Amino acid sequence: MSRPAPIPHGLPMERDAGPFDPPRDITRLRDARPVSPMVFPDGHEGWLVTGYEAVRQLMADTRFSSRKDIGILHMPYDVPGMPAITEPSPQVPGLFIAMDPPDHTRLRRMLTGAFTVKRMKQLEEHIVDIVERQLDELARLTPPVDLVKEFALPVPSLVICELLGVPYADRETFQVNSAKFLERNVQLDEKMAAYNAITTYLAELVTRNRAAPGEDMLSDLARHDDLTIEELAGIGFLLLLAGHETTANMLGLGTFALLEHPEQLAELRANLDLLPGAVEELMRYLSVVDVLFRYATDDIELGGEIIGKGSTVMFSMLAANHDPQRFENPDTLDIHRTARGHLSFGHGIHQCLGQQLARIEMRAGFEGLLRRFPTLELAIPANEVKLRTNMNIYGVHELPVTWTETAQ
Ligand code: HEM
C-alpha cells in the first residue's frame, strides 16, 4: 500500500466529525500512517504521531525533549512570529513541564509530596464543600445560565487558588491572561505579555510568602532557599494554569457530552457508583489536552519510521485515545468500559502531577451537578454550542443550560 504524502498544512483542527470526535483527516491519517511526516505552515518538516502505541512510546522516551517552546502547550506554528525550533529551547525558570532531567526532576520532586493520593484524599471533603457552595449559587440564578461561567470555571479556580494561597478575588488576572496564553494564532509578544502579567503578580505574592509564610503550597515552596523568586513564580504559573483550565474544560465539555447521551446520563444519575468509571471514560473520550509536542534530540525509531534528530514531533492524545487498535468502538462514549490506560493525563516523567486532584474535582463536580439539577438540559441547540477549536485546551466557551427543578 502506498503511504500518504506529508500533510501540507499542519494539523487539521475543525471538528468536522462532531464536537467529540477527532477531525476526520486525523482519523484517516492514524489508520493509514500513525507516525507521519508533516510540513508545518512555516515550511519546516516535522512529524505527527496519532497511533496509541506510538504516542505512549514517545511520551515514555526522554530522548524526545520537552524543551520545545517558551513553556507550555505551544505549537511552534500556531504562534505567529515564533521561529522553528532548531535546538532544545532555553528553559523558563520554574516551568518544569517544559524541562528535561535533571532540572525537571529537581523541581518535580519538590512537589510530589504535596500531590500524593493521601494528601488529595484529605482535601476531598473540602472540595465537596466548594462544589456544594457553587451549586447553591447556581440554584439561586434564574435559568438559562452559562454553566461554564457559573460552575465549571469557578470550581477548579477556587480549589487551586486555595491550594496555592492565591486570593480568588484576583482571578481576573490569571483567568483572562491564561485564556490569552492558550489561544491559537495570537502573536508571540501578546502571549509573552499574558505570561508576564501572571508571573509578575505571582512574584509579588511569593515574595510576601517568603517573608511571612502561610499554610498554602506556594508558601511551603517559598521555604526552599534554593528556589529563586523567578522559579517560584514559574511553578506558580504552571500550577495555576494547569490547575484550572484543564479541569474547567472537562467539567464544561463533560456535561455537554453527558447531556448529548441522555440514556447514559440517566443511568449515572440512578447509580452514582458508576461515576469514577464514567469520569475516566470522559477523560478518554474528550481528551481536552489534545495536542502536545516534543523535540527529537537524536535519531529515534518510532512505529517503523525514523524520526531525525532535530525534528519537531507533534502528537494527538485525542487520536491516540480513539485508536481502534486500543479501544473498541473508540468514538462511542461508554461509561461501562474500562477506559484505564487512556493517555489524557500524559505518560512517563511528565505525567500529570494534578491527576488525583482533577479526579476528585470531576467526581465531586459531576455528582453534585447531577444530583442537584435532575432536569438539567441544554438551553440552545447542540450545534450552536461554541466549541474551543481556537484554544490549546479543548472544551466549550459557554454552555447555556436550563432546568425546571432543583434538589438538595
Ligand atoms: C502535566 C493533563 C489537571 C498540574 C499534564 C500533562 C497532561 C495533563 C496531558 C502532560 C504534559 C506533557 O507531557 O507535556 C491534565 C488534564 C487535567 C489536568 C486533562 C484535568 C482534567 C491538572 C491539575 C493540576 C495539574 C488539577 C494541578 C495543579 C500538572 C502539572 C503538570 C501536568 C504540574 C506537569 C508535570 C511535569 O512536567 O512533570 N497534565 N491535567 N494538572 N499537570 Fe495536568
Q: Determine whether the shortest distance from the Cβ of 97 to ligand 1 is under 6 A.
A: yes
**In this predicted structure, what is the pLDDT of residue 184?**
79
Contact 302, 56 (CB under 8 A): no
Task: Report CA 95 to chain centroid distance, whole Å.
Answer: 16
Task: Report CA 89 to chain centroid distance, whole Å.
Answer: 22
CA distance 203 to 112: 22
Q: Determine whether the shortest distance from the Cβ of 350 to ligand 1 is under 6 A.
A: yes
Cα(74) to ligand 1 centroid in Å equals: 14
Long-range Cβ contacts of 126-135 (<8 Å, 24+ apart): 126/162, 127/159, 127/360, 127/361, 127/364, 128/364, 128/368, 130/155, 130/158, 130/159, 130/162, 131/155, 131/361, 131/364, 131/365, 131/368, 132/368, 134/158, 135/368, 135/369, 135/372, 135/373
**In this predicted structure, what is the pLDDT of residue 70?**
54
CA distance 65 to 55: 14
Instruction: List, run by run, the mean pLDDT of 10-residue segments along the chain (408 residues).
Output: 53 88 94 90 83 98 84 54 63 90 96 88 93 97 98 96 94 87 81 90 95 93 94 95 94 98 97 97 97 92 95 93 98 97 98 96 98 98 95 95 94
**In this predicted structure, what is the pLDDT of residue 299?**
97
User: Atom 36 (ligand 1): residue with closest C-alpha?
Assistant: 350
For the whole prediction, is pTM greater than 0.90? yes
**In this predicted structure, what is the pLDDT of residue 79?**
56
Residue that has been written with the C-alpha cell 517558551 in this structure:
70
Cα 116 to Cα 37, 119, 122, 123, 350: the distances in Å are: 39, 5, 10, 11, 15
**In this predicted structure, what is the pLDDT of residue 45?**
81
Give the type of residue at 287: S
Contact 108, 227 (CB under 8 A): no
Structural domains in the chain, sorted by start: 24-402 (1.10.630.10)
**In this predicted structure, what is the pLDDT of residue 51?**
98
Cα 35 to Cα 2, 186, 345: the distances in Å are: 14, 28, 21
Q: Determine whether the shortest distance from the Cβ of 250 to ligand 1 is under 6 A.
A: yes
Out of 246, 281, 318, 343, give the residue to mutate to test ligand 1, the one with the largest number of ligand atoms within 8 Å of its CB.
246
